[in-house]
Amino acid sequence: MKVTTQRLSQHVHTVDGRTDGEPVLFVHGNVSSGAFWRDSMAALPEGYRPLAVDLRGFGETDPAPVDATRGLRDYSDDVLELVDALGLDGVHLVGWSMGGGVVLQALRDRPAVVRSVTLVNPISPYGFGGTEGPDGRLTHPDGTGAGAGAANPDFVTRLQAGDLSEESPTSPRNVLRSSYVKDPARLTDEDFYVRSMLTTRVGEAHYPGDAATSGAWPGVAPGKTGVLNAIAPTHFRLDHLHEIHPRPPILWIRGADDLIVSDTSLFDLAHLGALGVVPGSPGTPAQPMVTQTRTVLERYGHYREVVLDDCGHSPHLEHPAEFQRLLADHVKDA
């Protein structure tokens, strides 16, 4: 269904016949859409109303530009306006990858409307790239190492071209197989998910955003528009999550073998420099993404961490039965 607010028109995935019950709102990650939640939505127990939004610039939602200087607030404000428009009372928020950052920002800004939060392999509360240490301190003041300049240009080109092939390691299909999941054999409908990835709007206002340069290694810094700049640590930081009231319970589910969000992420230029993949590294340490999340949640206090073995970046796709059980128990306890 389409929900039009003052901000934009948002596409929301629903399940036929499920119009009542406690609302559970699923928020997808980068280069995907709400379609990635299809099976998780259908598996919710009776008594819950499953909803999955396409964020701006993804799926069938309006391709409104992303002001990266607001961090993830363009997305989280859209989500909160959707909550208001639908009259959702005490919503359970579920966020995967970048969507985890979106729901945490929504929680930070309006905790009273949230009944529970489930984080699925979320980005660090200190963004993606350009930081070090558990406290998320900037490696350089300008956020060097983060932003749109860190995107693989061939992947961007293939995404924009709607590439459905498997001819290159950087095709969306092969990125899904190699990075979104640990074992692609577990994907029950690969074409469905690839087509969802290809709904991503490409450009300076969307993915990956406008590129900026830096005089420090590796030569890229966050710009001011688009997706990857919105998750740069100069724009997105959640230092004070523990100060909100009320503090609804948080369930943090993550795959033990995640290559994207990790203390040694293969998408972090600093870690790639340490491996020698990106030459010239001065020894910049990898961003400890998982450690940073744990540090923030330990201050928050009201959370539980569950690690799924033999699982990559997408527990809801790789171990659906276990994920669905954990989510159902969490929303019920909340």
pLDDT tens digits for 38-93? 999 999 999 999 999 999 999 999 999 999 999 999 999 999 999 999 999 899 99
What is the Cα gyration radius of the chain?
A: 18
Tell me which residue has tokens 């200087």. 69
pLDDT digits (tens, 9 = 90+) for 83-125: 999 999 899 999 999 999 999 999 999 999 999 999 999 999 9
Residue 215 CA to residue 151 CA, distance in Å, equals: 18
Q: Which residues are 138's β-sheet partners?
A: 131
d(CA 276, CA 74): 36
Non-local (6+) Cβ contacts of 299 within 8 A are 241, 242
| 147-161 residue pLDDT tens | 999 999 999 999 999
**3-class DSSP assignment, residue 300:** helix
pLDDT at res. 72: 98
Is residue 27 within 8 A of residue 6, CB to CB? The reply is no
Tell me which residue has tokens 């969507």.
99
CB–CB of 290/271 below 8 Å? no
Instruction: State the pLDDT at residue 229.
Output: 98
3-class state of residue 51 by DSSP:
strand
Contact 307, 254 (CB under 8 A): yes
Helix (H) or strand (E) holding 80: helix 73-86
- C-alpha torsion angle, residues 217, 219, 221, 226 (rounded to 10): -140
pLDDT confidence tier of residue 130, bands split at 50, 70 and 90: very high
Residue range 285-302, pLDDT digits in tens:
999 999 999 999 999 999
Cα four-point dihedral sign 170, 173, 179, 182: negative
For residue 20, give the nearest of 55, 51, 47 by alpha carbon: 47
Other Cβ atoms closer than 10 A to 206:
19
Q: How far apart are CA 218 and CA 273, in angstroms?
A: 8
Domain boundaries, the chain: 2-155+195-333
In this structure, what token pair is assigned to residue 309?
A: 């073995």
Query: Does the pTM of the predicted model rise above 0.95?
Result: yes
Give CA–CA dist 228/213, Å, rounded.
14
Amino acid identity of residue 162, one-letter, is G
| β-pair partners for 26 | 52, 94
Chain mean position to CA 114 = 18
Residues 237, 2: Cα–Cα separation, whole Å: 31
Work out the pLDDT band at 207, boundaries 50, 70, 90.
Answer: very high
Query: What CATH superfamily classification does 2-155+195-333 receive?
Result: Alpha/Beta hydrolase fold, catalytic domain (3.40.50.1820)
> Exposed e or buried b for every residue in 69-99, given b needs 16+ CB within 10 A?
bebbbbbbbbbbbbbeebebeebbbbbbbbb
Classify strands 9-14 and 2-4 as parallel, antiparallel or unpaired: antiparallel
pLDDT of residue 222: 98
| Closest among 172, 175, 179 to 198, alpha carbons compared | 172
